[in-house]
Structure 1
Amino acid sequence: MVDLEEQFTEIFRRHHEAVWRYCARRVGPDAAFDVAADSFLIAWRRLGEVPAGGGDVLPWLLGVARKVVANEQRRRRRGDRLVAKLGQFARAPAPVSGNYPDAGMALPDLVTAMRTLSLRDQEALQLVGWDGLSASEAARVVGCSPSAMANRIRRARQRLETALDVSGERGVNADRNAPPHGEGVAYEN
């Protein structure tokens, strides 16, 4: 085991900076630390596959880092799509499948609004808005009844809309006397 540790330590000492720079150019300096660390974790797990020749190690490591970078970039794109979809979802009259109308909102406002929600509300909106699950499917994921999940989604959407209204960026429901989404006509006594 000591020989493997020494081998890995030498690989890390020689190539960490180069791998970090490679990652930083592709995902930025902050994420590069995590991406480089993941790359070296894979190298440790696959130490038997690391080329024995000193000149072949860095290209092999950069090949590993390239795949880790691609995973990070996919994760970011999924996150960006989630934020955009949730912005559209918050304005949809009901959870439906297919395309949503353009939300026309700045992503930072939506991210800020999402962060005001509880983790439970965020999960409900993400399961339906990002993962494309129905309320029944989302209920199975979290272990509750479909009606409880439908209520959770409805309340989370209302809280998200309230958070978006507070940010002052919404111009969707100009008529504040109109009934909320999904409710019937309000009658006065």
Structure 2
Amino acid sequence: MMPGRTQGPVMAMTRTERTPRGKPEDRFRSAYRTYYRQVYVYFRRRTDFESAQDGCADTFLVAWRRIDDLPDDPEVLPWLYGIARRVLANQWRSRKRSDRLRDRLLGFGTKPEPSPETIVIRAPHIQNVLDALERLKPIDREVLLLSEWEGQSHKEIAATVGCKPHAVDQRVHRAKNRLEDELRRIDSASTEPFNQVEGGAP
């Protein structure tokens, strides 16, 4: 009898410990209110307005379906970024990402007159950086954007892309070096015609 009496409470305690704190609806609302803007900005910096809205909605839809997997802070945002990254990959799968992204940033055919933001983006050195980013491998580009643009720590990036923090250290370092190499190639190619003209001048 004694083993039977003690086993019940132990099993009940185990079930209680495995139960997420709070109702699923409350946990989801808290994550949505706290991190919606960060997730939206994640998409907006990588795609257009409508796709950013759709991607953000899809991310939280997946989060709701996986509410039992929702971690506690401070792991919530990296977890959401991980979902957002996969949603974004699905959005890009049917596109030629390089051409579409460049057209959006430069504002081709979108407005009769360029906005001040578009004028700034059209600056040659900014375009060179965008071109250099497009030449990187997807994982190199992603860790650079997460590190330098989103301001994530290497631990957060590791949770987002699904690797260990020490691997992120190496990836970020290599990605920066590769970006610098691509920028040098682009700068060299863009100045070569001018050098040829100057060399051939009487």
Q: Same fold (TM over 0.5)?
A: no
Give me the TM-score of the superposition, normalised by structure 2: 0.36
More helix by share: 2
Give me the TM-score of the superposition, normalised by structure 1: 0.39
